Amino acid sequence: MSMKYKTKQQITFYRNIKIIILSLMMIYCIYQISHYIYNSYCNNKLNSQLQELHIDNTQETKTSENNINNSEKLKSKEDAKINFKDLLAINSEVVGWIKIQDTNINYPVVKGKDNEYYLNHNIKKESSASGSIFMDYRNKVNEEDLNTIIYGHNMKDGSMFKTLTSYKEEDFLINHPIIELTTLNKITKWEIFSVYITDTSFNYIRTNFENEEDYGSFLSTLKNKSTHDVGINVTSDDVILTLSTCTYEFYDARFAIHARLIRE
């Protein structure tokens, strides 16, 4: 066999190998894109179903409340729990519902035994790249923690906590200053006092503090880090809500929002 013929065979062989590799890469890319689109579709469909369920239950509760007097309306834990009975039937780890008016943030909140599980599991405990909106496992839910923390993914399809990154713009903050969090036994509203980009080296998700001075210093740090000054003062008498999601300005970047409880 001539050297020229061998060289031609080798060229054909390597060309075929390249074609196979490129074909496999293309198949993998198509699979990844298809998987993402399917996950996005399933996640959005589930969220729509949950929102309809929540709305239906809320309307039922409001109707029943019309039949009782005002003093009973907001004091009964059992009435508040009616809103969550179907959600709790889906997942007993549901602890609340978070909503920001005129945005797509309108989701149930779950709480697991760690901060890992619900990163890639939905409310039905099915594997999901979108994960769930979940509360820090260290929070006590039924007690008034100094810093209640809720996490969610920044999904490219606009779902979960993607909308939080809109708070990078001051106008969006001015127009959407209030976060609503309904737990199993009460409805709370929180006003935002700080938004900023940080990295994981800054411990903005603290839940324990040595004393009042330590907590007050922590609050001052959060306020000073804010990219927008909204003129809201916070003191050690306040309790706060922290929302956290990923952002992509640099490696390990996080976007944090802090709000103080509006007391009745």
**Residues acting as catalytic residues:** 153, 246
Q: How far apart are CA 80 and CA 171, in angstroms?
A: 34
Q: Strand pairing partners for 35? A: none
Q: How far apart are CA 253 and CA 255, in angstroms?
A: 7
Q: How far apart are CA 161 and CA 144, in angstroms?
A: 24
Are the C-beta atoms of 150 and 134 separated by less than 8 Å? yes
- DSSP string spanning 66-106? TTS-HHHHTT-HHHHHHTTHHHHHH-TTEEEEEE-TTSS-E
How many CA atoms lie less than 13 Å away from 17 in the CB half-sphere?
A: 6
Closest CA to 186 of 89, 105, 73, 54: 73
Look at residue 145 and give its three-state secondary structure: coil
